[in-house]
């Protein structure tokens, strides 16, 4: 981010968001507020003009509907490119799009992609990359992917693995990296009849890419996890010093490349937090990046089985404090043996959600 440019995150109910206003919103996601492409969701945004992703992920422990609002220090300029709605402020770009698997026209269907999900994924990522190219090619910093029925096996392959293969193909076709300089990201499940939904943050200032020494880089996973590895970094850092913001990818109970503590959501939560602490330590090794602690971050927590929320919540609050910003959502996770996945964002000079 450029000098004087700020980015902050808020988790608000629809009524709170209306009272705060939307003049400085770069982009947003609404949870449990609409799961169809083109829907406006349950919230009436009136004349608000910013990219908004509607994600079918029920909110746990709180309001039925919550908004994730990304605000900037000034006004953002909204625009669109193909299916992508995006907004620009200074060096930052926030965009969102959704694609239903059944809506693709014949001219939009890549010939080599074998499944409807793969076709929708490849189309979505080609449009995402085309939008970045048209906007002067800012670098992807963080991507959020929501994939309907992520763990279901169709056409002889789990849908998450279909997604990874199609993302890989679209990235290569668009001249993008599939290892190393790849954004922080997460991929969670959505309702079976919902579209694939993606929202993303990019910047004309290149981020730093962070890996976890406790884990094999996701883009180096062995073939047992699918024909193509997931293309994301464990974390990214944007900016330096007091302006630095750390974006931690969806993080789970994985050491090396193996799931740990299957069947024990409490132990999985603890292991995920150890991985987050390792990323904080790695980010702090970079010049100009001050050290961060768990309590400096805001968290989005995906819980597979809502009945396990109490033990997961107790572990998190014991580690990060009861006043930490914690948003809990119900969603399937990329591996069937994972009960919880945690993503985080924060930094010095950065105001966490209230």
Q: pLDDT 10s digit of each residue in the chain, 354 long?
A: 554 468 899 998 888 877 777 889 999 999 985 444 344 344 555 556 899 999 999 999 877 789 999 999 888 999 999 999 999 999 999 999 999 998 775 555 555 657 999 999 999 999 999 999 999 999 999 999 999 999 999 999 999 999 999 999 999 999 999 999 999 999 999 888 899 999 999 999 999 999 999 999 999 999 999 999 999 999 999 988 778 899 999 999 999 999 999 999 999 999 999 999 999 999 999 887 778 889 889 999 999 999 999 999 999 999 998 788 899 999 999 999 999 999 999 975 554 444
**CB neighbours of residue 3 within 10 Å:** 7
In a domain, 59, yes or no: yes
CATH number of domain containing 152: 3.30.1330.40
169 belongs to a structural domain:
yes
Question: What's the total number of domains in the chain?
Answer: 1
Is 46 a domain residue?
yes
Cβ atoms of 9 and 69 within 8 Å: the answer is yes
Distances (CA, A) of 327 to 69, 152, 294, 301: 13, 26, 15, 6
Provide the H-helix boundaries in 98-158: 116-134
Under a CB-based contact definition with an 8 Å cutoff, are residues 142 and 200 in contact?
yes
354 is a domain residue: no
Can you tell me the distance from the alpha carbon of 126 to that of 123, in angstroms, rounded to the nearest whole number?
5
Number of Cβ within 10 Å of residue 321's Cβ equals: 11
> What is the predicted pLDDT for the residue at 266?
98
Catalytic-labelled residue, pool 122, 271, 341, 343? 341
Q: Is residue 351 part of a domain?
A: no
Which residue(s) pair with 7 in the sheet?
72
Question: Of the candidates 15, 35, 53, 5, which has an alpha carbon nearest to the alpha carbon of residue 198?
Answer: 53
pLDDT at 296: 87
Q: Is 341 a catalytic residue?
A: yes
Q: Which of 98, 71, 72 is nearest to 84 (CA)?
A: 98
Q: Is residue 71 part of a domain?
A: yes
What pLDDT does residue 62 have?
75
Render pLDDT for 183-216 as a digit per residue (tens, 0 to 9): 999 999 988 889 999 999 999 999 999 999 999 9
Domain span including residue 281? 7-346
Region of 226 on the Ramachandran plot (φ > 0 left; ψ -120 to 50 alpha; else beta): left
The pLDDT score that the predictor gives to residue 312 is 98
pLDDT digits (tens, 9 = 90+) for 259-304: 999 999 999 999 999 999 999 999 999 887 778 889 889 999 999 9
Position 197 in a domain: yes
């Amino acid at each position: 981010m450029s000098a004087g440019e700020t980015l902050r995150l808020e988790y608000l109910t629809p009524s709170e968001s209306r009272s705060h206003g939307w003049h400085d919103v770069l982009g947003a996601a609404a949870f449990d507020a609409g799961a169809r492409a083109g829907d406006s969701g349950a919230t009436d945004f009136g004349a608000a003009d910013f990219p908004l992703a509607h994600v079918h992920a029920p909110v746990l422990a709180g309001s039925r509907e919550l908004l994730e609002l990304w605000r900037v220090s000034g006004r953002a300029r909204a625009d669109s490119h193909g299916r992508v709605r995006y907004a620009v402020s200074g060096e930052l770009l926030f965009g969102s799009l959704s694609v239903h698997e059944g809506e693709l026209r014949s001219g939009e269907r890549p010939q080599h992609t074998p499944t409807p999900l793969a076709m929708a994924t490849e189309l979505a990522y080609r449009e995402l990359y085309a939008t970045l190219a048209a906007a002067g090619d800012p670098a992807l910093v963080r991507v959020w992917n929501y994939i309907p029925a992520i763990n279901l096996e169709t056409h002889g392959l789990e849908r998450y693995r279909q997604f990874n293969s199609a993302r890989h193909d679209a990235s290569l076709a668009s001249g993008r990296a599939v290892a190393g300089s790849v954004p922080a990201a997460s991929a969670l499940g959505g309702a079976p009849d919902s579209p694939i939904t993606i929202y993303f943050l990019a910047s004309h200032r290149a981020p730093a890419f962070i890996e976890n020494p406790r884990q094999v880089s996701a883009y180096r996973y062995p073939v047992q996890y699918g024909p193509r590895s997931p293309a994301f970094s464990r974390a990214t850092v944007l900016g330096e010093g007091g302006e630095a913001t750390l974006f931690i990818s969806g993080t789970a109970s994985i050491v090396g490349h193996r799931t740990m503590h299957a069947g024990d959501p409490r132990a999985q939560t603890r292991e995920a937090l150890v991985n987050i602490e390792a990323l904080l330590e790695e980010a702090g090794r970079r010049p100009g990046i001050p050290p961060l602690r768990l309590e400096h971050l805001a968290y989005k927590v995906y819980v597979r089985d809502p009945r396990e929320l109490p033990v997961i919540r107790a572990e998190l609050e014991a580690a990060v404090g009861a006043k930490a910003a914690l948003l809990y959502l119900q969603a399937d996770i990329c591996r069937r043996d994972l009960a919880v996945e945690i993503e985080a964002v924060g930094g010095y000079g950065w105001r966490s959600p209230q």
